[in-house]
Amino acid sequence: AQSVTQLDSQVPVFEEAPVELRCNYSSSVSVYLFWYVQYPNQGLQLLLKYLSGSTLVKGINGFEAEFNKSQTSFHLRKPSVHISDTAEYFCAVSRSGANNLFFGTGTRLTVIP
Partner 1 sequence: NAGVTQTPKFQVLKTGQSMTLQCAQDMNHNSMYWYRQDPGMGLRLIYYSASEGTTDKGEVPNGYNVSRLNKREFSLRLESAAPSQTSVYFCASTDRAGAWREQYFGPGTRLTVT
- Closest distance of CB 20 from partner 1, Å: 19
Nearer to partner 1, 23 or 111 (CB): 23
- Closest distance of CB 64 from partner 1, Å: 17
CA separation for the pair 86, 83 (Å, rounded): 6
CB 113 within 8 A of CB 17: no
- In whole angstroms, what separates CA 98 from the centre of its chain? 20
Nearer to partner 1, 19 or 34 (CB): 34
Q: Which residues of the shown chain bind partner 1 in the complex (CB under 8 A)?
A: 4, 9, 32, 36, 41-46, 49, 51, 90, 94-106
- Closest distance of CB 70 from partner 1, Å: 22
Nearer to partner 1, 45 or 68 (CB): 45
106 bridge partner residues: none
- Kind and range of the H or E run holding 112: strand 107-112
Terminal alpha carbon distance of the chain? 41
